Amino acid sequence: MSASPLCVTANPSRSASSGRWRGLAVTLTGAFMAIMDAFIVNISLPTVRDDLHASFADAQLIIAGYGLTYAVALITGGRLGDLYGRRRMFIAGLGGFTLASLACGLAPTPNALIAARLLQGLTAAAMFPQVLSLMRVSFTDPRERAIAFAMLGATQGLAAVAGQIGGGLLVAADIYGLGWRPIFLINVPIGLVTMVAAARVLDESTASATRRLDLVGVVLSAASLSLLLYPLMEGREAGWPYWAFVMLGLSVPAVVAFAWHQHGKSVAKASPLVDTRLFRYRAFTAGMIAVLAVCTTLIPFFMILAFVLQAGLGCTPLMAGAVFVPLAIAYAVASFGAGRAGPERSRAVLLIGGIILMLGYAAMACVNDLVDGLTGPEYVPALALLGIGQGLVFTPLLNVVLSNISEQDAGIAAGVVSTMQQVGGALGVAVVGLIFFSAVAAAHERGMTDMAAYTTAFSFALLYNIAAAGATTLLIALLPQKPASRA
């Protein structure tokens, strides 16, 4: 397949620069921090609630606030990098994230912590798209780019382990009597060192065709995503009140208005927030839908398995986190192995990964249904298989999608990719959460024990994950047979 018209010729001097690997290490450190913070609070939340005397509603916002502002601002964050410089926005976002982490660690009240978490999400959204776009423009050789994305996958796996295990260890250690606060304060020295390193080793890049920020597009994007994501994140916990359905209904015309506005500016070549020409290309469009589909399984799976392990099987938070470690390690190893396979085998790797993903969820269901006296570790072999499938699909899929995009659109494409991840996660939590918790309630009404209720509900929820993994595999089959021949 020939390169898409959006692709531009690579800059050989950038490709030849030995500093790109040092730059990758720096940007992956920022990615590690952003991803870890999505996991670390879950384990520590009971301690946070007790110390701050927070309500359950406060606890939900401590978790959901970060995810909401992060998701809403990703597209804008990507475009700001295109406009003002990806290096500059990475450092600015990282600096803001570091300050927000300090504010989280020093928060005296639930409301102060919620506000700091909202700021953390916004600054992470300014930082994370630059990680993907800098990888796209720095690694012009397809094989090296595949390895770089494989290292991102390994980083994500390690961040998940650090979040699940590190959070429990930091809280248990009660360093200087600070309790839960070190889970945020640890970001401060790491962030400061990374900022200094970023200023020294990262090369600047911008999109010369981007002239100004589309402020109307920013408002429409934020409004449509907020109307869609907030009820998906908070509706179930609130009992699906009327406002959740009103917001979901309003999100439809808001999304249509955003798409119409962006298409008009794209046709007029008037610096849209999202250039709709991107969706004319099969690799990008099919890849985006595949990213959405696979993310509807990832985040809700971690959520419901945590409930099964702790509420159903009686595991402590630290024990539950330890059960996830084999999955994270397998994910990291498989991601790196996928990158070593080479770009010419990327589609085959993705297809194999999709099949293994289905088998992994099916294996989880078999263990859940057939093993008597579950205690948690019985899931480990199936979780390792699942981690291999996730590693062979997730980051290689991001590489395939972004490799077909021009340098000038790298930032916005990275923002759209990241937004699809968050939308998919929120949608999955809503759908799988509805299936899972409805089944738990029905099982309790029939007089089942907690173990029986949660494992039965887990089996129902896994049916969705198996189906979604199958849909992801079919979408992967629609991707181009070969990667773009030039960047």
Residue 447 gets the label, from left (phi > 0), alpha (psi -120 to 50) or beta, of left
The CATH H-level superfamily of 274-481 is MFS general substrate transporter like domains (1.20.1250.20)
CA distance 140 to 8: 10
Lowest mean pLDDT, pick from 3-7, 22-26, 297-301, 366-370: 3-7
Half-sphere exposure of 242 (CA within 13 A, CB side): 0
Q: Above 80 in pLDDT, residue 5? A: no
- Mean pLDDT of all residues in the chain? 84
CA distance 266 to 273: 9
Highest mean pLDDT among 52-61, 113-122, 153-162, 295-304: 113-122
CA distance 89 to 128: 10
Q: What is the predicted pLDDT for the residue at 487?
A: 37
pLDDT in tens, 365-396: 999 999 888 888 999 999 999 999 998 998 78
Helices (H), 240-281: 242-267
Is 274-481 in the same CATH topology as 16-213? yes
CA distance 217 to 262: 7
Q: What is the predicted pLDDT for the residue at 18?
A: 60
CA distance 184 to 100: 9
- Which pair of structure tokens corresponds to residue 262? 């962006």
How large is the C-alpha radius of gyration of the chain? 22
- Choose between 197 and 299: higher pLDDT: 197
Q: Above 80 in pLDDT, residue 7? A: no
- Which pair of structure tokens corresponds to residue 200? 């020294």
Lowest mean pLDDT, pick from 72-76, 171-175, 265-269, 446-450: 171-175
The CATH H-level superfamily of 16-213 is MFS general substrate transporter like domains (1.20.1250.20)
Residue 405, CA distances (Å) to 327, 349, 408, 411 in order: 31, 21, 8, 10
Q: What is the predicted pLDDT for the residue at 486?
A: 39
pLDDT in tens, 249-296: 999 999 999 999 988 888 887 778 888 888 877 778 888 888 888 888
The pTM (predicted TM-score) of the whole model is 0.79
Q: Report domain extents, the chain.
A: 16-213, 215-272, 274-481
pLDDT in tens, 313-344: 988 767 877 888 888 889 888 888 887 776 67
